[in-house]
């Protein structure tokens, strides 16, 4: 009998506290994140037998990408989403899944709202030869501001209207 059970079980990914090893895989993922951060994105394909920890590795990668796990002086600050695909997923369904997940992730990201507010404040201060580029904001909520600056309409999400 093994000294310890395998924490990786199909359909039940292991949490970060149980995750060990995979140094070369995590190092490769970190390199890809560094390259992406510097304008040179790369694709990765994670493959392997069922139950060996692929999803657990991806969850650790997500934590690394979002900055929840910090392995350097300059942590990553990516917005991440997870999408489930199967052999019947069409290209249009994939695009819709990506759009929906990105809208939700952006809506829930205080950093995205803060960035949009800072950008809007900056644009409002621009003046060329005595003419202002943009007037004062007339948005009463973060949701209205977000919708006016992006193409994402959040009003169809129930929790969007609850935000201050």
pLDDT at residue number 19 = 65
Q: How far apart are CA 163 and CA 156, in angstroms?
A: 13
3-state class (DSSP) for residue 54: helix
Query: Is the overall model pTM greater than 0.85, yes or no?
Result: no
pLDDT at residue number 156 = 45
From first to last of the 164 residues of the chain, give the pLDDT tens digit: 555 666 666 666 766 566 667 888 989 999 999 999 999 998 889 999 988 888 888 888 999 999 988 877 888 989 898 888 889 988 888 888 998 898 888 877 777 777 777 777 777 777 666 666 555 555 556 566 556 655 555 444 444 434 34
pLDDT at residue number 72 = 77
Report the run of H or E that residue 131 belongs to, with start and end: strand 131-132
H-state helical runs in 76-109: 91-107
């Amino acid at each position: 009998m093994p000294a310890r059970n395998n924490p990786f079980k199909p359909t039940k990914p292991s949490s970060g506290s149980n995750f060990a090893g995979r140094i070369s895989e995590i190092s490769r993922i970190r390199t890809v994140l560094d390259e992406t951060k510097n304008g040179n994105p790369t694709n990765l394909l994670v493959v392997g037998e069922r139950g060996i920890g692929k999803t657990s590795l991806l969850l650790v990668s997500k934590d690394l990408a979002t900055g929840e796990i910090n392995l350097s002086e300059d942590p990553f600050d990516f917005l991440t989403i997870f999408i489930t695909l199967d052999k019947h997923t069409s290209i249009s369904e994939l695009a819709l899944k990506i759009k929906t997940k990105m809208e939700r992730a952006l809506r829930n990201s205080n950093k995205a709202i803060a960035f949009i507010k800072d950008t809007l404040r900056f644009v409002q201060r621009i003046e060329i030869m005595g003419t202002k580029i943009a007037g004062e904001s007339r948005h009463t909520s973060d949701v209205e501001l977000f919708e006016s600056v992006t193409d994402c309409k959040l009003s169809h999400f129930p929790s969007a209207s609850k935000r201050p």
